[in-house]
Structures are given as structure tokens and as C-alpha cells.
Amino acid sequence: MAKTFSKPTSILFMLFTIFFFSTYVIADEAPVFPKNLPPSSLGLKQQKLSHLHFYFHDIVSGPKPTAIRVAQAATTNTSPTGFGAMAVIDDPLTLLPGNTSKVVGQAQGIYTLASQSEEALLMVMNFAFTEGQYNGSTLSVLGRNTVFSTVREMPIVGGSGVFRFARGYAQAKTFTFDTKSGDAVVEYNVYVLHH
């Protein structure tokens, strides 16, 4: 005579079986963390190289500065390089070097004096464009800026909007620097690959 399970035991056995097999099926169809996609699936087209030219106005003096020191180390004031000072910026980007020139965007981010042996900044900023075909798009800069070198080169590490998947470099060259106020105008030439 065959042994039969009680009704509650049969229901538990059936639920366990359904759960076990559904877990197996679900696990087999689970999403994969890395997945290769063709660039066209995101609407990406052939890469192009763009050159952007503008002037960066770093104003630390006056009633409405665009760069403000927000932190410093205990030893910053005795350091010959200002090591440890950090500023937050919202610097205008203009077509021409004059402060009344057309604004095409803002440089927004932070920089810090990051060297004990020379005046070198760590720059972490976005160029947020507000004019023309790049309006609403950004480029992200992360790099070293030795401010008294004639030309400094910093990497473009990404972007948004028109500049998604961007990479390239920015060359900075001081146009004017006021030793009394600390205000500076810097010429930028940016070369960026993007879709």
C-alpha cells in the first residue's frame, strides 16, 4: 500500500517545488551586470573633434568675487605656495578677454593649492555652456594646473548633453594676472572628441 502525504504536507511539498523551480528559472534569466552594447543603441554617431576657445575670469576681489576661499590648512598662511587653500568657483567664460564680453558659460567647481614646492592647483570643474549649439552641455575637467607655467594642459574626463562620452584636453594660458587683487583672466583652448 502506497503511503500518502497529508493534505497540508502535500501543499507544502507543492509550494516548495514551485518555489524551487521558479527561483531556478528566474536566476537563469537574471540581468547581467556588464553588457556590451553597440554605440548606435544609444544614438551615438561617429566621433568628431571640436575646438572651443574662450576666456575664464577668476575674480577673487571686489564686492562680487567669482572664486571664494572656503577652506585652508592650519599651515596655509605660512606655506610659500599657499598649500592647502581651497576655493569654490563660478567663473564666467567669455568670447573675448574683456569683462564685458559675451558670456558663453560658467566654470563651476573647486580648485585647491595642492603642491608644497610650486604654485600648482588641483582643478575639479565643469565648463557649463549657455550659448549656441552647446547650450545646456558641460565638459568636466580634472587635472593639475601649474599656474605660472606659460601653457598648462589638463584632461577633459567627460561631459554631458552634446558632450556625452567626451574626452580630450584643455590648454590654459594666463592672459592677465593682477598681482595686487589676485584677479586673473585665462585663455582656454579646449580640444574634445565627442559624438
Amino acid at 93: L
Contact 121, 112 (CB under 8 A): yes
Contacts of 169 (CB under 8 A, 6+ apart): 153, 154, 155, 156, 190, 191
Contact 145, 111 (CB under 8 A): yes
Q: What is the pLDDT of residues 22-46, one digit of tens each?
A: 555 555 566 777 888 888 888 888 8
Predicted local confidence at residue 64, as pLDDT:
96
What is the pairing mode between strands 86-94 and 67-71? antiparallel
Q: What is the pLDDT of residues 129-154, one digit of tens each?
A: 999 999 999 999 999 999 999 999 99
The parts of the chain modelled with pLDDT lower than 70 are: 1-10, 12-13, 15-16, 19-30
Predicted local confidence at residue 24, as pLDDT:
54
What is the value of pTM for the model shown? 0.80
Contact 86, 69 (CB under 8 A): yes
Q: How far is 67 from 112, CA to CA, in rounded Å?
A: 11
